[in-house]
C-alpha cells in the first residue's frame, strides 16, 4: 500500500495556489481508454481512466493531463456511485497539478515558492524596480505610503494612485474560495483530520482552539480560504512539535 507523505498537500489546496498564479486556469474531467491517452495495451491500455485536463490559459492549445484508472475507485457502503467518480477526479487532478509543477508535499511546495520569489527578485533587479524585492510578496499599504510622502503634495497624488492596487487581489481570490466538488472537499477534510490526529497531545488542542476562533469549528469548512488557514496552522504546529522534539533529544545527549 502506498504511504502518504506526512506533509502531503491535497489537490484542492494546490489548485487554489495554481489559481492564484493563473486566475483563468480551468480543469476539465472526462473518461477514456488508456490507449486513447497513449498507454500501451499491456500496461493497462484497455482499461478505462478518469482524465483531468488543465489549461493554464484559455489560449493554451495543449492541456496538462493527469489520470487514474477506474479500478482505483473505492465506494463505501451507502455512497452514491458519483462519489467514487468525484474521488477519481480529485486524484487525477492531483497528478495533473504535479505535472504542472505544483508538488504534493509542503516541503517541495516551499521550494517552488522560494524559486518564484527569486525569479521575481531577479526580474526586479533587471528592471530596476527594487521595491518588489522582499522575502514575501509585497502587500500594498496605503496608510504607509501616505505617511511617507507628507513632505510633497505631488507625492501624495502618486500614493493615492496606488490605492486601487489592492482591489484585484480580492477578485483573483474569489474563484478559489469554493470547493470544486463535494468529493474534493471530503478528501481534503479527511486528510486534515488525519493531520490533526497525528499531532502530539496538546498541539492537537491548540489546532482545535485556532479552528474555534476562526469560524466556531465549522465542519465541513465550506470556505477554501478558511480551510487553507486551518491547514497552515496545523502544518505550523507539526513543525513546532518536531523542533521541540529535536531540542529534547539534543538536551538528552
Residue 243, pLDDT above cutoff 70:
yes
Strand-pair category, 26-33 with 48-55 = antiparallel
Residue 32, pLDDT above cutoff 90:
yes
Residue 3, pLDDT above cutoff 60:
no
Residue 128, pLDDT above cutoff 50:
yes
Provide the percentage of residues in the chain whose pLDDT is more than 70.
72
Residue 67, pLDDT above cutoff 70:
yes
pTM: 0.47
Place of cell 487553507: 228
The strands making up 64-69's β-sheet, listed across from edge to edge, are 26-33, 48-55, 64-69
Q: State the pLDDT at residue 129.
A: 54
102-114 per-position pLDDT tens digit = 888 887 777 777 7
Q: Would you state the cell numbers that stand for residue 131, as one nine-digit string?
A: 521595491
Rounded mean pLDDT, 87-104 = 89
Residue 251, pLDDT above cutoff 90:
no
157-183 per-position pLDDT tens digit = 433 443 434 333 333 334 446 777 888
Instruction: Identify the weakest region by mean pLDDT among 205-209, 219-223, 233-237, 245-249.
Output: 245-249
Q: State the pLDDT at residue 12.
A: 85
* Residue 251 C-beta-side C-alpha neighbours within 13 Å: 6
Residue 135, pLDDT above cutoff 70:
no
Amino acid at each position: 500500500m502506498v504511504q502518504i507523505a506526512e506533509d502531503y498537500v491535497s489537490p484542492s489546496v494546490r489548485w487554489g495556489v495554481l489559481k492564484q498564479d493563473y486566475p483563468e486556469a480551468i480543469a476539465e474531467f472526462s473518461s477514456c481508454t488508456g490507449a486513447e491517452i497513449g498507454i500501451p495495451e499491456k500496461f493497462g491500455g484497455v482499461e478505462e481512466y478518469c482524465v483531468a485536463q488543465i489549461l493554464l490559459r484559455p489560449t493554451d492549445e495543449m492541456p496538462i493531463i493527469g489520470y487514474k484508472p477506474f479500478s482505483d475507485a473505492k465506494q463505501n457502503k451507502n455512497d452514491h456511485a458519483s462519489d467514487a467518480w468525484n474521488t477519481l477526479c480529485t486524484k487525477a487532478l492531483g497528478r495533473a497539478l504535479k505535472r504542472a509543477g505544483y508538488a504534493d508535499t509542503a516541503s517541495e511546495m516551499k521550494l517552488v515558492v522560494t524559486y518564484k520569489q527569486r525569479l521575481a527578485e531577479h526580474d526586479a533587479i533587471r528592471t530596476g524596480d527594487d521595491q518588489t524585492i522582499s522575502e514575501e510578496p509585497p502587500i500594498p499599504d496605503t496608510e504607509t505610503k501616505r505617511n511617507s510622502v507628507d513632505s510633497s503634495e505631488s507625492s501624495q497624488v502618486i500614493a493615492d494612485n496606488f490605492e486601487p492596487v489592492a482591489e484585484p487581489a480580492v477578485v483573483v481570490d474569489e474563484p478559489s474560495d469554493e470547493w470544486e466538488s463535494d468529493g474534493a472537499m471530503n478528501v481534503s477534510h479527511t486528510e486534515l483530520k488525519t493531520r490533526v490526529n497525528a499531532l502530539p497531545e496538546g498541539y492537537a488542542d491548540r489546532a482545535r482552539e485556532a479552528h474555534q476562533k476562526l469560524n466556531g469549528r465549522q465542519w465541513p469548512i465550506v470556505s477554501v480560504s478558511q480551510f487553507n488557514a486551518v491547514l497552515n496552522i496545523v502544518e505550523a504546529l507539526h513543525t513546532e512539535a518536531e523542533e521541540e522534539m529535536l531540542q529534547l533529544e539534543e538536551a538528552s545527549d
